[in-house]
Structure 1
Amino acid sequence: MPDWGTPLATGQVPDAHTTDSRLVSVDDAIFPAHSMTGVLAWARGVGWSARDLFGASSEGGAGDRLSYTRIRQGVQRAVHRHGGLNLACQTGGYKSISQLGLLGPALVAQPTVGAAIEFGLRHQLLAGSLLAHRFARDLGEPGACAIESPHLFEDAECASFLEIDHLLTNFNVLKILCGGQFPLIRVELPGHDREVFGTLARLLGAPVIGEARVARMVFDSDLLNIRNPNHDPHSCAYWEGLCEQEAQAIGLRTPATLLARLFSATGRLLPLEDIAERMHVSLRTLYRMLERDGIDYSQLQDKDRFIRAQQLLRLGVRSEDIAVDIGLSDARSFRRAFRRWAGMSPAEFREKDRVGSPPAIAH
């Protein structure tokens, strides 16, 4: 048996709603076998079984859980047998909503694409994610956002395979959530395999750029607002509850700090009413908790509104519409608030931004 790579160390699993992380060992058997459906499908095609890939005790059943070490062993055996990274294009493209376990129906039940992404990031380990996906919106491009995929464990030997495999699976899932189309602006990957990049560009319908700092798919933030016409609050609550139960059963959840609970996974400040409902407390209790932790919600709200206002001004949105978007009564209130935040009027900000002056800083 050849040497399938060097040993790995402990990694961290970021949680979408907390600044804390839970340490996870590469030997913790927490990853569901269904996350390897693409690799297992390829293996069957060449006459291999789950045991051939992952070891003597692996059956590859829906209820099986594997450690990262054993999954890594299987991936390396498959890549070695196949002879290249194009295998990741096959295995990732094979997977979609139905290969995500309980997370799949929970995503389909969400009210919007943005809500589905938020929930998916929070529970990504339930689907067997071997990368630490996160949402990014401050890209320096008006209207653009991204799902980034840094490594869960430092593993140079499997990094490229996992990035490509997970990228295609995420793309397939998002296409379903968007009703069949998920137009990408571009894809960025740390590698530089031109043959694989060409295959990916054809599959994704978007340019693929190499030598990136982190793997990510960049798309228009308007896609986050696509609504699910079949959303059912009762079904949504049911599947979310099952996901929470499974996460707790295998020890994946850590308590979120109060500050972290104030924000969605996409980085927007949530209304106090929504926060109280999520935490199952009254508004009065939430106010006391904020005071106890020294959190000034109005200050956070100003900062969130200011960031959003800058984005909309750069897109040419009218002051009246920006006021509605950020929750102010009218354009006059918005202009007054913006001058307080930026030290200039919205019109002055547009002009400075147009000529390339540094962006305003909130006070």
Structure 2
Amino acid sequence: MNQPAPTISALLSVQDAVFPAHPFSGVLAIAREQDWRWQEMFPAFADHHDNRISYAQAREGLLQARHRGGADLGLRSGTRKALPQLGQMATGMRAQETLAQALQFGLDFQLIAGSMVHLQWEAGPQQSALLASPLFDDAELQDFLEVDHLVTAINAARQLCGHRFPLVRVELRSQSGASLSAYEKFFACPVIAGADVSRIVIDNSVLQMALPQPDAQLAHASHNACQAELAAVGVLGRQSLLRTLTALQCELHSVAQTASVLGTSERSLHRLLAREGTSYFQITETIRIGRARQLLQTGLSLERIAEELGYSDSRSFRRAFRRWTTQTPAEFRQSQAQIHLR
């Protein structure tokens, strides 16, 4: 375990008041229009719009909005968000030379904008994908938040360029009741529901599109300002607890080993996990599921995948994967191949 050790204080908790009004701005706009009594849904913002709130505080209001707004609320709320609301982060994005650099700048400082899911690039030789994955284990809100944030990202990118640009396809997790035609109208590309991970696939040539106002000095100054703002939020890491433990490959190590790298005790680590409503076993199982799904979409053999995940043989891996997903590895590979052929 040779990775640089993050500190426990840098790990994002559902109780950390780090989320500003911006990630809720789309929902708040719709709530005002529909007379949903938004002050009762988000009382902290009713008192002072500059407040930051925790995920735990925001959750009840978001659940109410999701119930009232229907399956397409994520699409509707994401389109309401504007780049100027992001302050120094927007300034830094505009000052970059290419769309790829601007989006990466946004991803580097997404916590400043109050990102409630983790967005990241999955680079490929000809195409790359913007992936959305949960910061918190919340099945009731995950699909809504992923759509909201992916739509927000594309909306911001279009504002940077001043026009639309082609996307290859959009893959979304379960979107029960959602109007795929509405999604396809916004994204202007095929949209597939029922994917394993929500993501937007873009040609690398599009990502190299030049932006109209590059400014290296302004980009550097904005970078420093965003770093200072991120530190002021009080959560210095960009990753959630799950992301941090994933980076440490905790599924291959004991609680004692992981706690040592984090600079804390086993008891403190167990307490931190309990505060998030999870356990070390649940975290390691979640990580293994995610890594298994990723590896199964490559050409690696089951024997090699089992070895990568720390199993004694492929048979043990097959049993575990079926226990996690109710599918065999072969069935999962077949289902993913069908999704990409649509």
Report TM bin, short chain: 0.5 to 0.7
Name the aligned partner's letter for residue 45 of structure 2. S
- Tell me if structure 2 keeps the 8 A contact 1:34–1:101: no
Q: Retained in 2: the 8 A contact 1:31–1:66?
A: yes
Q: 2:74 aligns with which of 88, 108, 111?
A: 88
1:59-208 superposed matches below 5 A: 59=46, 61-82=48-69, 84-138=70-124, 143-193=126-176, 195-208=178-191
2:108–2:238 contact (8 Å) kept in structure 1: no
User: What is the DSSP-based 3-state SS (H/G/I as helix, E as strand, rest coil) of the residue aligned with 1:124?
Assistant: coil
Q: Secondary structure at the match of 1:209?
A: strand
Equivalent residue number for residue 23 of structure 1: 11
Separation in 2, partners of 1:188, 1:19: 34
Between the aligned partners of 1:26 and 1:236, the Cα distance in structure 2 is 32
Q: Which amino acid aligns with 1:58?
A: F
More helix by share: 2
- Relative to structure 1, the CA distance from residue 242 to residue 203 in structure 2 (aligned partners, 3 Å threshold; closer, same or farther) is same
Residues 248/80 of structure 1: CA separation in 2 closer, same or farther (3 Å cut): same
Per-residue deviation, 1:20: 5.3
Tell me by how many angstroms 1:30 deviates. Answer: 0.1
How far the C-alpha of 1:223 sits from its partner, in A, is 1.9
Q: CA deviation at 1:62?
A: 4.5
In 2, the alpha carbon distance for the partners of 1:59 and 1:48 equals 13
Q: 1:77/1:255 Cα in 2 relative to 1: closer, same or farther (>3 Å)? A: closer
Pick from 36, 46, 53: which aligns with 2:34? Answer: 46
Q: TM-score, normalised by structure 1?
A: 0.60
How far off is 1:164 after superposition? Answer: 1.4
Deviation at 1:100, TM superposition (A): 2.4
Q: Which moved more, 1:27-36 or 1:186-195?
A: 186-195
| Pairs within 5 Å for 1:241-260 | 241-254=224-237
Change (3 A) 1:114 1:73: same
Q: 1: CA distance between counterparts of 2:229 and 2:112?
A: 8
Across the aligned residues of Structure 1 and Structure 2, the Cα RMSD in angstroms comes to 2.4
Look up the match of 2:209: 226
CA contact (8 A) 2:75 2:147 kept: yes
In 1: Cα distance, 2:4 partner to 2:157 partner: 24
Query: Residues 133, 244 of structure 1: CA spacing in aligned structure 2 closer, same or farther, 3 A cutoff?
Result: same
Partner secondary structure for residue 201 of structure 1: helix
Q: Which runs of 5+ in 1 are unaligned?
A: 1-16, 257-363
> Structure 2: 5+ residue runs without aligned partners?
240-342
1:281 corresponds to: none
Q: 1:195 & 1:42 partners in 2: Cα distance? A: 17
Residues in 1 aligned to 2:39 and 2:126: alpha-carbon distance in whole angstroms: 47
Tell me the SS of whatever aligns to 2:68. Answer: helix
Deviations 1:262-294 (CA, angstroms, capped at 9, x unpaired): xxxxxxxxxxxxxxxxxxxxxxxxxxxxxxxxx
Cα distance in 1, alignment partners of residues 168 and 150 from structure 2:
14
Larger RCO (alpha carbons 8 Å, 6+ apart): 2
Q: SS in structure 2 opposite 1:163? A: helix
* Paired positions, count: 235
Deviation at 1:36, TM superposition (A): 0.8
Pairing of 1:329-348 with structure 2 (within 5 A): none
Cα pair 2:11 2:237 within 8 Å, conserved: no
Give CA-to-partner distance per residue, 1:100-132, whole Å, 9 cap, x none.
Answer: 233112211112111112211111011111111
Q: What is the distance in 2 between the residues matched to 1:34 and 1:73?
A: 17
Q: Whose Rg is larger?
A: 1
Change in Cα spacing, 1:207 to 1:133, as seen in structure 2 (3 Å) is: same
Q: Distance in 2 between matches of 1:60 and 1:188?
A: 38
User: CA offset at residue 251 of structure 1?
Assistant: 2.4
CA distance 1:117–1:20, change in 2 (3 Å): farther
Does the 8 Å contact 2:166/2:202 carry over to 1? yes
State how far apart, in whole Å, the 2-side matches of 1:255 and 1:210 are. Answer: 28
**What one-letter code is carried by the residue in structure 2 that aligns with 1:68?**
Y
Distance 1:255 1:53 in 2: 27
Cα distance in structure 1, aligned partners of 2:238 and 2:16: 20
Counterparts of 1:148 and 1:242 in 2: how far apart (Å)?
A: 26
d(CA) in 1 for partners of 2:54, 2:174: 25
How many percent identity over aligned positions?
36
